[in-house]
Chain A
Amino acid sequence: MALSGIEIYKFLPKTNCKECGFPTCLAFAMKLAQKGVELSKCPYVSDEGKKALEAAARPPIRLITIGDGERKLEVGNEVVLFRHEKTFFHPTGLVVRIKDSGGDAAVKQAAEAAAYSVERVGMNLKLNGIAVENASGNADTFVKCVEAVKGNKVPLILMSKDAAAMEKALEKVASDMPLIYAATKDNFAQMAELAKKYKCPLAIYEPDSLDALADLAQKVMDTGVEDIVLDPGARDFAKSLTALTQIRRMAIKSSFQPLGFPVITFPGEGASSDDEAAMLAAQQIAKYAGIVVLDNFSSSVVYPLLTLRLNLYTDPQKPIQMTPGVYEIGSPKAESPLGVTTNFSLTYFSIAGELEASGFPSWLLVCDTEGLSVLTSWSAGKFDAAKIAKSVKEFKLADKVSHHKLILPGGVAVLRGELEEELPDWKIMVGPREAVDVGGFLKKQWTS
C-alpha cells in the first residue's frame, strides 16, 4: 500500500537538517510520496523507518520477469481482485510444456508454439514461452532438449526437481533468464543457491496447504532469493479457484509478503480432456493465474484463450479502440452495402457481428470518435456530419462502392440533412437504432 506524505513523515528524523536538499523533513516526505526522490537522500532515517518505508513501497504482488529480449514475460504487480476496480496490468503468461522424453516431435511442437501468432483487433497475439520438463530423469537428455528449444528465443521454464540436472541446464541457458521450476521443501536450499548463482527467478511448489506454501516461500526469501513464483499445487477447478483467490486476497488485502508473488498453474494436470483443460485454463486466466502452462499446442484452443486474456486484461477505463478505416465484413463488392459507425470497439463488434449474421457482405466505415459510442460521441461533438464526410473522402469510399449510398446509425438520424449537404453526390440512408435490427433493415431496404 502506498503511504501518504504525512505517514512517511512519521518515520523521518524531523530535524529539518536540509541535507536531503529539501527545506524541511515534511517537504522531503511529500516528495517521497510522489516518488520524486530516493529515501537514501536522508542520512539519518533509522533502519526501522527504512524497513517500514520499503515494505510500504513494495507492490503487493512482486513483478517477475522471465526471459530477456523482445519477448520477455512480465507477470505480477497486480493491485485489484476485480478488473472493474482498476484494471489487471500484466496479462497471464501462456506457456506450452514439452517433455524432454518427447524427442524431435516435442521440439517441433515447441517451435510451432513459439512461432504462433494470431491477429485480433489490430494486435498480434502470441504465446509467451516454452516449459521443458525433465520427464526422462536424465540430465543429459534434459540439457539437450533445453538447448534445442533455446533457439526459439522465447522465455523458458526449466522443470526438474533434480538440482544437478537443473544446474547443467542453467549452465547453458542462464543468461536467457529462465524460470527455475521448482524448489520444494526437500530441495529448496540447493534450488535457491542455483537461483542466486545464476540470477534467475525461482518457482516453489508446495501442495500441502497455504501455510506450508507461505512457510517455504519465507525460507526461500530468507536465503536472499527475491524473484519467486508460487505453485500451490491446486490442480482441479475447485481447488485452483479457491487457492488462487486466497493467495490473491492475502497479497492484496493483507499485504502478506510470503504470498505476494505471481502463481503458476498446470491446467492439463487437473483435467481429463483437452476441452476441459482449455476451460480450466480459461478460468485461471480470469481468476488470478500469473502463468498458465498448457500441455498441448493447438491453434483452436490457443486462439480462444489468447482472446479471453486480451478481453479480461483490457483496461476498463480505456476500452479498446478500433483503428479508424474501412472494414470488410465478409467479402464485400462494389455493390455491397456501406454503413458508418464509431471506433468504440463494442459498437464496432455489435454492428460487425450483426452484419456478419445478416448474410450481406458489407463495408463498414469506422470514424475516429476517440473510442466513444454513437450517441455519446454525437453529443460530445465527435461524431458529426463534417467528420463523417471527411472520413468518406479520406478512405476513398467513392472508389470502393458503386452505389454511393451511406447508411447512418438510426440514433443519429438527425445528421442526415447536414450530411447530404456535405456529400452532395451521396444518398444518405437512415439505418436502425439498434444493431440487432441491422439484418432486418438490409433485407427490407437494401438495393444497390
Chain B
Amino acid sequence: MSPVEVPVEKWTGKKSEVTLGGTGGRKGITVGGENTLPFLKFEGTIPNKPAVAIEILDRKPDDWSPHLMKVWGDVMEDTGAWAKKAVEYGADIVTLRLRSAHPEAGNTGAAEAKKNVEKVLSAVDVPVIVLGPNVAEKDNEVLVAASEAGKGQRLALGNCEEKNYRTIAATCLADGHVAIGHTPLDINLAKQLNVLMSDMGLSLNSILMDPDTGALGYGLEYCYSVMERLTLAGLGGDKMAALPMICQVGGESWRQKESKAVDGVPESWGDHEQRSIVWEETTAIALLNAAANIVVLRHPKTVEMVKATIEKLLSA
C-alpha cells in the first residue's frame, strides 16, 4: 500500500520576533519567529520557544489564594526579594504588576513605581515586564516612570488599550522598550491596535499582543479560538496578525472561584490545592497549543510543569 502522504501546509507568513532584555547587562529572551502552528516542527521552523513569566506585585496581595500566599511566603513583603525568588523558581521573565498604583489599592504614583522597578531590575538579570494597574490615567503615570527607570533595559510595558495607547507606546518608543497591546477577545480589534501602535513608529519587533485571556471555565474557548484565528491569519501572510502573543494565565485562573474559594465548594471539585494548580496548568497548556508565546503564571509548581512540557513539545 502506498505510504501515507501527510498534508503539509505551505504557510507564507511567519510571526515577528520580539526580544526582551538583551541590553544593559540583562539576559535577552526572544519569542516568536515561527512559521508553523504551535510545536508542529514537521512543517516549519520554530526558532524560539515559548517563554514562561512569573507575575509578582509591588505590594503584598490581600486577595490571593492561600495556596499562593503559602508557597511565596515572606518574599511577598519585598518586591526585590520576590523577583529574585521568582527567578529561582525558573521564571524566564519577571512580570511586575504595579498594583499599588490602583486607586483602590494604595493609589501610589510615579515615585513608588520608579522605586519598585529599580528594585526588580537590580535584583534579577532576566527580562522584566511591567504592567500598570489597568486604570488609564494611573497606567500612563506609572508606566512612564517605569519606562524611564528601565531605560536601556528593553522592558515590556503594558497595557496599551484602544482608548489609551499613545502615552505608553510613545514612552516605549522613546526609551527602547516593547509595548503590550491588549484587546478584548476580538481579532479585528487586535489587528487594529497593532496598526495604530505601529503607525506611531513602533516596529513589529517591539509589540506584543495580549488578545485577552479567559481562564479554563471562564471564557477559555473564546480566547483559544481568537488566538487560533490570529495565528492562521498571520501564517497566511497578514503581518498585523503575526505578532507574538502574551497570555495572563496565572492572574485569570487564580481569581476564579475554583482557585479562590476555600469553603463551601462541592466535594466533586476535589482537593483545593491540586485543583487550583491543575486549573492554571490546563489553561496554560491549552493556550500554548493555541500559539501563546509568553505565558504569565503565578504558582511555582505550574512554572516547573509548564517549562518541562514546553521542552518536551519541542524535543522531537
Contact = CB atoms under 8 A, between A and B. Distances in A.
B278 A278 contact: yes
Contacts of A302: 270
A211 B6 contact: no
A406 interface: no
Q: How large is the interface on A (under 10, 10 to 19, 20 to 34, 35 or more residues)?
A: 35 or more
Contacts of A253: 7
Contacts, number: 182
Interface stretch (A20-28, A233-241, A333-341): A233-241
A73 to B, nearest CB: 20
Nearest to A357: B255
Nearest to B185: A346
Contacts of A346: 185, 214, 219, 222
A356 B309 contact: no
B103 A440 contact: yes
A95 interface: no
Nearest to B104: A440
B282 A238 contact: no
B316 A308 contact: no
Contacts of B63: 357, 359
A436 interface: yes
Contacts of B255: 353, 356-357
A349 B253 CA distance: 12
Nearest to B279: A304
A286 interface: yes
Given A253-B7, A299-B268, A120 B214 contact: no
Given A242-B40, A279-B285, A346-B214, A314 B269 contact: no
Contacts of B106: none
Interface in B215-258: 216-222, 224-225, 228-229, 232, 255-258
Contacts of B305: 273, 275-276, 279
Nearest to A436: B134
A357 B102 CA distance: 15
Given A279-B305, A282-B286, A300 B228 contact: no
A4 interface: no
Given A82-B232, A84-B225, A356 B257 contact: yes
Nearest to B316: A238
Interface in A327-362: 331, 346, 349-350, 353, 356-357, 359
A275 B275 CA distance: 10
| Interface majority SS (helix, strand, loop, mixed), chain A | helix
Interface string B43-77: 00000000000000000000100000000000000
A238 B314 CA distance: 7
A444 B102 CA distance: 13
B232 to A, nearest CB: 7
- Which bracket fits the contact residues of B? 35 or more
B8 to A, nearest CB: 9
Tell me which of B103, B232, B286 has the highest count of chain A C-beta atoms within 10 A of its own C-beta.
B286
A304 B222 CA distance: 17
Given A308-B220, A311-B217, A300 B270 contact: yes
27 contacts: A83-B225, A117-B268, A241-B289, A242-B39, A242-B41, A273-B305, A276-B309, A279-B281, A279-B306, A282-B282, A286-B285, A299-B267, A300-B275, A301-B278, A302-B270, A303-B258, A304-B216, A305-B282, A312-B220, A346-B219, A349-B218, A353-B218, A353-B255, A356-B256, A357-B63, A357-B260, A436-B134
Interface of A: 82-84, 116-120, 209-211, 214-215, 218, 236-239, 241-242, 245-246, 249-250, 253-254, 256, 259, 273, 275-276, 278-279, 282-283, 286-287, 298-305, 307-308, 310-312, 314, 316, 331, 346, 349-350, 353, 356-357, 359, 436, 439-440, 443-444
